[in-house]
Structure formats: C-alpha cells, structure tokens
Chain A
Amino acid sequence: MTEEDLIAGCLKEDRECQRELYKRFSGKMMSVCLRYATNRMEAEDMLQDSFIKVFDNIGKFKKEGSLEGWVRRIVVNTAINKIRSNKVRFEELGEENDGFLHHDKNIIDRMSEKDILKLISEMPQGYKYVFNMYAIEGLSHKEIADNLGIEEASSRSQYAKAKKYLQQQLIKLEKINL
C-alpha cells in the first residue's frame, strides 16, 4: 500500500489502513518515546497519544516531507509537551563530567542500538531531554530552551554534560561487555 493509499484510507477512518500505518511506524516511534519517557508505561502513553493525534490530523499532512518524518515530529512534540507538563530536573553531576572525552569513533558502531537506547533513557532527565532534542531530533539550543523553559546557555551546558556522560557510559558498558 502506498503512502497516498494509506493516507486516503486513514482519512476515511478505514481501520485496515490505520492498522497498517500503525504497524509501519509504531516500532520506530516507540523507540522515540522510550528515549523521552522514564519507563515503558510512560512511553506507551506517549505513543498512544501520538497516534491519536496522527489519526485525528492525518488530513493535515501536506506531503512536504515523508510521512514517517511527519509522524516522528508529532511523536516528538507529544513527548515534549508531556515533558513540559512535568517538572524537568536539570542535574549537575560534578566536575568530573566537565570537558569532552576523547571520542572513539567506533565505539558507537560496536554498541547495539538497544544498549545505546538503554544508556540514553537512563540518563538524568535534563541531560536526556536536551541530548535527544539536540543530537537526535536536530533542534537548536534556542528551540530546546523555548520548549523546556530554560535559558539557551543552560541548554548548551546540559548538552555538553549529557554528551560527556553518555560517552563515559558507553566506555563503561563496552568494558563490561568485554
């Protein structure tokens, strides 16, 4: 089924088309939600709310990009809205996390997606949100600051710390796996 057929079917509230759309994108979007949520249940709530918005607003898809990208944006925005409704904790983990580690370019290739996702989801909230928005979703620090209600400088600071934290965790995990 082409994307056009899928969209047309979803507009008509065709259950089969809706199931197909869900089947196509739910896996990837669940991983997006897991990166923002604190647990699986919260992630599924985010996913549920996101797909409700997708089905309700499928008619607004303007085909300017891919359908997946449009669905992803909805999921990310849903996650951000949920974050905004919660009080975001921005932790400062101490001086040992300052600065950048030497980045082993292959370490990420050697790590499984599941492990990386686990590391990201276990990051402190502030680090996780900023890292997800900047590194994966591609938002600017200004946009992140607006979404989270923080200063742009805080966003930069949090990202730097998040990145270093993640690198440290990756190294630790690789050592454990070895």
Chain B
Amino acid sequence: MIDNQFEKQIREKMNRMEVEPSDGLLDSIFEKRAAARQPAAAFGLTKVIAVAAVITGLALLIHFGMGSGDQTSPLAANQNNPVTNSGQESEGPQARSESKDVLNTQSLNSSGSGSSQSHIADIVQSNRNTASKGKHQTSMAGNHPGRVSGPGQKERNSGKNSVTQTFNANPDLNAYFNVDATNRPVIASESHLGNSHMYVYQNVDPTLTDYIASNAYPHHMKPFMVAIENEEVANVNLLASSSMSRSHKPLFIDIYGSLGMGVFTTGKGAGYFKDLGKTNVSNGFGVRISKPVSNRFNVFTGLEFNQFINKYKGDFNVSKDVTEISTKTTYINDPVKGTIPVIVNDTNNYTLTKNHKVNHNNRYNVLTLPLGISYNFGFRKLDFSVNLAANLQYLKTGTYQSWSDNSESMVAKSSSSYFNVGAGISLMGSYPLTNKFRLIVEPGFRTLSIPGMKSGNSFGENIYNVSLRAGIRYTVF
C-alpha cells in the first residue's frame, strides 16, 4: 500500500498523462484481429484442398489404373467423329493447335444452337490459345476417341489399350467435343452409360455454354456452370462424378406404383360372354433394378405385384335343348273288339334358355418377375427408355367365374396357383429431381394369360393390360 506522498504525486501525474500513439495503429489492430481469425479458415481450406487433391488422385488412379482399355468408347457410336486414332504419343495442346481450320459446314446438332459455326470455331481456337498458356487447369483425361477434356489438357496414355488422338485438318465440332450418336456434344469422362448422363464440362469457353445447354444433357450443369464461368475446375460434384470409371457403372433402382386398365378376351367358351360388360382394371407396385450394359442398353429385372380385376356384370343366357316326349293314351271303340287303348308318343323338341345375372369381380393377384432389356435415349433433361420384357408370372390367388357343377349357372371358384409367361413393353420417361433421384413415368402394355384353371374352367382368359407406372429412380453410382 502506498502512503508515500512521493509515490502519490508521481502516480497522479502519470495517470493523467496522455501520449498520442501513431496514426494507423488502430487500423493495424483491426488488421491483426482479422488476420488472427483467418488461420482456422485457411487451415480448413487447406484441409479441403488436400482432401480434394487426394480424391482427385484416387479418381485418376482408378480411372487409368483400372480402366478396361475398351477402345470402344461409350461415345464411339458417333460415326462422324473425324478424330483419328493415331496410336502415337500425343503432343497434347500442341497437336490441337496445329489444326487451325475453321469449322466446316458439317451440320451440328439438329436442335440448333445460338452460335454460328465460325463463331464457335473462333471461340474454340481462342480457348486453345488461352489454354496453351497454361491458364486453364487440366481436367480429368480419358482415353476415348475424340475426347477433348478442354484446352490445355494433355492427353495421357494410361490403361491397357490407351489411345491418343490427333486432329485432322478439317475439324468440326466433333473435334472439340465428344459427341454421342445423336451428335450431341459431350465433354465428359465416363458418360452416357445407360441413363446416367454424366456430363462434365470443364474448361469450356463460357460463350459455348448456351450451345451446350441447348444440345446436351445438363444434369449437372448448374454446379459446373459456375465453375465454367470462373474458369476453374468444378466443385466437389465434379470430383465425385469424375471418380466414376468403367468399373463403376451405375445401377438404377426403380420403385413405382401402377394403375392400369384393359380388355380381356377368353379362350374356350368365349361365346358365352358376348353379352357381358367387361372391365379390366389393375393396380400394383414394384421394384426394378436396371443395369447399363452399354451406352444405350440396360438389362433389368425386378419384382412386381399386381392385382387384376375383371369385372363381370350383366346378363347372359344359357340355352339348353330339351326334348319332351309326352305319351298320350287314346281309346278306340271297336264294335267287334270293344275298347282298344292306343298309346301315342308326342315328341316336343325345344330350346330352353335360362337367363343368368352376373355381378362379380374376378380377381387375380399376380407376382411378376420381369426379365427385360431397355434402349435408352434422351432429350435435354429427359431420359427415355423403351423397355421390353418377358414376364414370369406367378398367379398367387384368384377368384373366377365358372360353371356350376350342373352347368346351369356360374359360380365363383378359387383358383389354384400357377406359373405363366407373359410379355410387356413400355416407354419410360424420367426427369431428374436431384443428382441421384429421378421421377419416372412409364406407360406400358402387358399381356397376362390365365389359361383354364386347373379345375377345368373353360373360361380361360387373356388379359391385355395398359398401365401407367409412376415412381422414383435412384441411381447408385
């Protein structure tokens, strides 16, 4: 405790004193505080970059190290690709820059684009020149004919049967983009595998994006468009998609419900039904697994449960021929012999028609195992599949109309289970909801044959059913 006058005086004077610090000290305080907050973010960013680099490296390793080396690129369906397989070590951007011809008049996608061909050529040339300066980051390379992952991209030889490309003297758009069988531009790594249109656009001049958007499948356009505009490698979505290689073909899982209606015809005994009103409705649900086997074709199978309801309502007549023999005894008075009986047989033949009222639903619960193949194509965001299937059908339970034992009326009887083979064809359209989920709508047609039940029903039925399936497709990458 200070009780000394000296200290008190000193203290009072010193506590009153003010000395102005240098100008700018406060700003440096603010800067230091701001800088103190950055290391965590920078560290976080560093971690993200490191993780991204590891993932990219793994993706490249998987793509090149495990590639099947299939020379038939998913995109080789394009017949107009002028890019030739040189089999030589590519010189990368230098090789491309050798070709300076303007685009020829070879038609581009018939859907049209907003840019003239010469404009596109100019842009692409400009893109090359810029890339040759090393401005653009490289994209994921591939070994597919006609692959252009972007200017500045070095062609890499990897995999068993890698091929490097050179460009001919008359390039057209195919020389700058991969194109699919319908001449849609595709700049991608693994793409067009069945319905998984994995288009990855990298290092594309922003002015070309309109063309691409109008002609290609922009499933993942949105996240990449930002990257394209900023001339940067796309975000993690790109890395996720680029990690897909041939060894990782997607798998699709469809879950759907269905409603249907149709007509049915009968086999034996068809004539009895001509007066009946016939209604055939169906409902059901199912799951389907679809696997791409090539760029256009999938194979699929699954399990579907359906209930087919055939409504019988109305009148029908059952006719029966009847012969009635009536015996009549008459008497003749004979003056000699007296009264003589005479027996007369009167035969009456007629048809007896009985009218029956029927109001009954024949119900069949059927489990179906489809084995089918799909042909895939698309338009903009929509994917379409033509599905053709052989349906292994197992009738689980059913009730049906049949003659009574005395064949004079119709009664409902329960069927016993049986196997059957039918056929089905459908056209499925799908629309992307997210990267993995698509909305599917699928009108289709199928046949279902219910031959005479084992109990000997003569009303064998063939059901021709038109149905509409709707559901969700999940893409397993």
Contacts and interface: CB of A to CB of B under 8 A. Distances in A.
Contacts of A167: 6
Nearest to A25: B18
Contacts of B36: 52
Interface string B1-18: 110011101110111111
A161 interface: no
A31 B19 contact: yes
Interface stretch (A77-85, A105-113, A150-158): A105-113
Given A27-B20, A51-B29, A103 B14 contact: no
B17 A117 contact: yes
Nearest to B6: A103
8 contacts: A35-B14, A44-B21, A44-B22, A44-B25, A52-B32, A105-B5, A116-B13, A135-B2
B78 to A, nearest CB: 59
B344 interface: no
B172 to A, nearest CB: 59
A175 interface: no
Nearest to A48: B29
A109 B28 CA distance: 37
Contact of B17 (A28, A105, A138): A28
B26 interface: yes
Interface string A65-78: 00000000000000
Given A44-B25, A47-B21, A163 B6 contact: yes
Contacts of B19: 27, 30-31, 34, 117
A22 interface: yes
Given A19-B26, A31-B18, A138-B2, A108 B10 contact: yes
Nearest to B32: A52
A56 interface: yes
Interface string A134-165: 11101010000000000000000000000100
Nearest to A137: B11
A127 to B, nearest CB: 13
B374 to A, nearest CB: 59
Given A56-B33, A113-B16, A117-B14, A47 B9 contact: no
Given A27-B18, A34-B19, A136 B10 contact: yes
A55 interface: yes
* Size category of the binding interface on chain A: 35 or more
A54 to B, nearest CB: 9
Of the four ranges (under 10, 10 to 19, 20 to 34, 35 or more), the interface on chain B belongs to 20 to 34
A160 to B, nearest CB: 11
Contacts of B11: 135-136, 138
A56 B10 CA distance: 31
Given A51-B26, A135-B10, 9 more contacts: A26-B26, A27-B21, A31-B18, A44-B25, A47-B25, A113-B16, A117-B19, A138-B11, A140-B1
Interface of A: 15, 18-19, 22, 26-28, 30-32, 34-35, 44, 47-48, 51-52, 55-56, 103, 105, 108-109, 111, 113-114, 116-117, 120, 134-136, 138, 140, 163, 166-167
Instruction: Report the 4 A-B pairs with minimum CB-CB distance, sorted nearest first.
Output: A27-B18, A113-B17, A108-B9, A135-B7
Question: Which residue among B15, B17, B33 has the maximum number of chain A CB atoms within 10 Å of its CB?
Answer: B17
**Main DSSP-derived SS at the B contact region:** helix
A34 B19 CA distance: 9
Nearest to B13: A113
A31 to B, nearest CB: 4
A18 B30 CA distance: 9
B26 A22 contact: yes
Given A31-B19, A34-B19, A52 B2 contact: no
Given A27-B18, A28-B17, A113-B17, A108 B6 contact: yes
Nearest to A34: B19
Contacts of B21: 26-27, 30, 44, 47
Contacts of B16: 113
Contacts of B17: 28, 31, 113-114, 117
B43 to A, nearest CB: 19
B20 A55 contact: no
Given A28-B17, A113-B14, A103 B5 contact: yes
Contacts of B18: 27-28, 30-31
Contacts of B2: 134-135, 138
A16 to B, nearest CB: 12
A63 B102 CA distance: 78
Contacts of B33: 52, 55-56
